[in-house]
């Protein structure tokens, strides 16, 4: 049986600009198995968001193939994929309550009113927002708004959850809390997660595997197994020799003098 949720093969992506074509992704191949937590780390401008947008069906690939649950993407947005972006302030509707924001995408799917309400409530409780159902996004902190976006993404139990630097705009303490929240969701629902970040520690702390991207055009520099026990712990895990070894290995690939931006 094929348990690959995501298969990316020989992917190429070129932006067409006024000055010609710019190749952002070059012959990139990897796959993600069901239930796996894979992070992708690379310097700013290395093509991470471009890659995510091709997988989410927001950009059409120039060459190569992407399969989600075995189905080749052909320019459509795959229904079983959910995305959480960095910019939470623009991802929620300000005129809807927290609960309405989470229910909204469910109503367009196959869920009835009652089921949509139950699922949104369960997801909001899972992200620790059971008390904030009737609040509006602008009444919440940045970290809480990002929790709403996560609840919305998990409410319809996506086969694949894509996250693009979701915690890059929150403070360090909130970021650590949100990392642990995503780990608890991964454990609770067994969701397959592809997590994009430029933060090396975060990429290792969360994942079963870390994929390292090169400068553009993005190629795969490394595909590293993260052999660290779960549940992870913000302090203990980061003191383990395996964590320190991986951090040095990834840093060596990303922070080469002259290549870092």
Q: Write down the least CB distance from residue 233 to ligand ADP, Å.
A: 29
59 or 170: CB nearest ligand ADP? 59
DSSP letters spanning the chain: ---EEEEEEEEEEEEEETTEEEEEEEEEEEEEETT-EEEEE--TTSSHHHHHHHHTTSS--SEEEEEETTEEP-SSPPTTEEEE-S-HHHHS-TTS-HHHHHHHHHHTTT--HHHHHHHHHHHHHHTT-TT-TT--GGGS-HHHHHHHHHHHHHHT--SEEEEESTTTTS-HHHHHHHHHHHHHHHHHH--EEEEEES-HHHHHHH-SEEEEE-SSSB-EEEEEE----SS--TTHHHHSHHHHHHHHHHHHHH--TTT--
Q: Write down the least CB distance from residue 238 to ligand ADP, Å.
A: 24
Hey, which residues between 29 and 48 contact Mg ion (CB under 5 A)? 48
48 or 209: CB nearest Mg ion? 48
Pick the stretch among 42-50, 88-96, 143-151, 170-178 that binds ligand ADP (CB under 6 A): 42-50
How many residues line the site for ligand ADP (CB under 6 A)? 13
17 or 239: CB nearest ligand ADP? 17
> Residues 6, 24, 194, 253: which binds ligand ADP (CB under 6 A)?
24
Hey, which residues between 196 and 255 contact ligand ADP (CB under 6 A)? 216
Q: Write down the least CB distance from residue 141 to ligand ADP, Å.
A: 25
* One character per residue 127-156, x = contact with ligand ADP (rule: CB under 6 A): ------------------------------
Hey, which residues between 48 and 67 contact ligand ADP (CB under 6 A)? 48-50
For ligand ADP, the binding residues (CB under 6 A) are: 15, 17, 22, 24, 42, 44-50, 216
């Amino acid at each position: 049986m094929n348990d690959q949720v995501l298969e990316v093969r020989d992917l190429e992506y070129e932006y067409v600009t006024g000055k010609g074509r710019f190749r952002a992704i070059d012959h990139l191949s990897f796959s993600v198995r069901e239930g796996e937590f894979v992070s992708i780390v690379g310097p700013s401008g290395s093509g991470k968001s471009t890659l995510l947008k091709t997988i989410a069906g927001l950009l059409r690939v120039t060459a190569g193939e992407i399969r989600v649950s075995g189905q080749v993407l052909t320019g459509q947005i795959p229904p079983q994929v959910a995305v959480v972006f960095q910019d939470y302030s623009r991802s929620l509707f300000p005129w809807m309550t927290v609960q309405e924001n989470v229910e909204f995408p469910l109503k367009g799917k196959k869920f009835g009113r009652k089921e949509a309400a139950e699922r949104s409530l369960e997801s909001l409780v899972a992200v620790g927002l059971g008390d904030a159902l009737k609040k509006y996004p602008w009444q919440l902190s940045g970290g809480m708004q990002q929790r709403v976006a996560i609840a919305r993404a998990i409410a319809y139990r996506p086969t694949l959850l894509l996250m693009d630097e979701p915690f890059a705009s929150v403070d360090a303490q909130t970021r650590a809390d949100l990392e642990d929240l995503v780990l608890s969701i991964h454990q609770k629902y067994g969701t397959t997660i592809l997590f994009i970040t430029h933060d090396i520690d975060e990429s290792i702390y969360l994942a079963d595997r870390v994929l390292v991207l090169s400068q553009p055009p993005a190629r795969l520099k490394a595909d590293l197994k993260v052999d660290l026990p779960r549940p992870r712990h913000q302090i203990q895990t980061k003191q383990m020799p395996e964590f320190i070894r991986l951090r040095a290995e990834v840093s060596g690939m990303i922070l080469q003098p002259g290549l870092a931006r």
